[in-house]
């Protein structure tokens, strides 16, 4: 029997993989990693991802062999190719999906994450707050412009949309007013209504609860390490 195990927490980079697995109709075990208390720095996890970050997807194959991947963009790209869906049909189509997937990975993830960090994890750095707010607004304009030209980022619904959607969902919790642009709204609602996305959100519920509990139980020092204010011990 082959099957997937996804290691994660309730963050957008994990939700995107859950959405893809649901869209592809794949069964998977979801294993919660307590990043607030540093489980991602334990040797067993570093063996899966030397960078100590979730998500990690492990496929156990029929012969018992395991194939493991980290970096959510690589996981999305691989899932599309392995299952022959949501990755763009032709060579040009596949390249266009990858272009928008990499746009999300290289820009939206880091910038949106830093915009949230500087606005909410500290009030002490107006420079960082301003820098990432400016870039966030620019990226939202780029997305809005693209979605006025096409229904989905790469034309048809693809892993690129699945990768961006959870980030827009998270941003909405923090900066709703910046996201009221009409094409983005239309795109967001269309994806939110998809049965696989509804199932993914429901599946993440238990993981979200474990995150909240883990965060409550983490010490101040562990939280400093999680937020990057203090290095994890080697």
Ligand X SMILES: N[C@@H](CCC(=O)N[C@@H](CS)C(=O)NCC(=O)O)C(=O)O
Residues in 54-113 at the binding interface with ligand X, rule: CB under 6 A:
54-55, 71-72, 109
Binding mask 164-183 for ligand X (x = CB under 6 A): --------------------
Instruction: State yes or no: residue 135 binds ligand X (CB under 6 A).
Output: no
Instruction: Using the rule CB under 6 A, give the single segment among 9-17, 93-101, 152-160, 188-196 that binds ligand X.
Output: 9-17
CA separation for the pair 117, 202 (Å, rounded): 26
Torsion, Cα 121 229 18 189, to 10 degrees, reads 20
Report the residue number, 155 or 208, with the smaller CB distance to ligand X. Answer: 208
Residues 6+ apart with CB under 8 A from 167: 12, 104, 108, 109, 112
Report the residue number, 150 or 223, with the smaller CB distance to ligand X. Answer: 223
CA separation for the pair 102, 98 (Å, rounded): 6
Report the residue number, 46 or 198, with the smaller CB distance to ligand X. Answer: 46
The one among 15, 18, 19, 35 contacting ligand X by CB under 6 A: 35
The one among 22, 48, 53, 101 contacting ligand X by CB under 6 A: 53
Residues 6+ apart with CB under 8 A from 95: 88
Instruction: State yes or no: residue 158 binds ligand X (CB under 6 A).
Output: no
Report the residue number, 71 or 144, with the smaller CB distance to ligand X. Answer: 71
Residues 6+ apart with CB under 8 A from 55: 6, 7, 8, 13, 14, 17, 70, 72, 75
Torsion, Cα 173 138 191 69, to 10 degrees, reads -90
CA separation for the pair 194, 200 (Å, rounded): 10
CA separation for the pair 99, 203 (Å, rounded): 29
The one among 34, 40, 96, 170 contacting ligand X by CB under 6 A: 40
The one among 6, 10, 13, 164 contacting ligand X by CB under 6 A: 13
Instruction: State yes or no: residue 52 binds ligand X (CB under 6 A).
Output: yes
Q: Which residues bind ligand X (CB under 6 A)?
A: 9, 11, 13, 35, 40, 52-55, 71-72, 109
């Amino acid at each position: 029997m082959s099957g997937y195990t996804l290691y994660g927490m309730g963050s957008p980079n994990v939700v995107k993989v859950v959405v893809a697995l649901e869209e592809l109709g794949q069964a998977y075990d979801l294993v919660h990693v307590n990043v607030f208390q540093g489980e991602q720095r334990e040797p067993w996890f570093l063996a899966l991802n030397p960078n100590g970050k979730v998500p990690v997807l492990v496929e156990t194959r029929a012969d018992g062999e395991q194939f493991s991947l980290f970096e959510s963009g690589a996981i999305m790209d691989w899932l599309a190719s392995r299952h022959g869906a949501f990755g763009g049909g032709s060579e040009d189509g596949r390249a266009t999906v990858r272009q928008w997937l990499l746009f999300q990975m290289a820009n939206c993830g880091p910038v949106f994450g830093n915009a949230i960090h500087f606005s909410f994890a500290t009030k002490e750095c107006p420079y960082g707050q301003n820098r990432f707010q400016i870039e966030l607004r620019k990226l939202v304009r780029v997305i809005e412009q693209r979605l006025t030209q096409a229904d989905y980022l790469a034309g048809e619904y693809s892993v690129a949309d699945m990768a961006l959607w959870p980030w827009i969902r998270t941003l909405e919790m923090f900066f709703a007013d910046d996201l009221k642009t009409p094409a983005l709204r239309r795109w967001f609602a269309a994806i939110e209504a998809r049965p696989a996305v509804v199932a993914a959100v429901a599946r993440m519920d238990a993981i979200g609860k474990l995150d909240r509990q883990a965060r409550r139980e983490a010490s101040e020092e562990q939280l400093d390490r999680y937020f990057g204010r203090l290095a994890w011990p080697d």
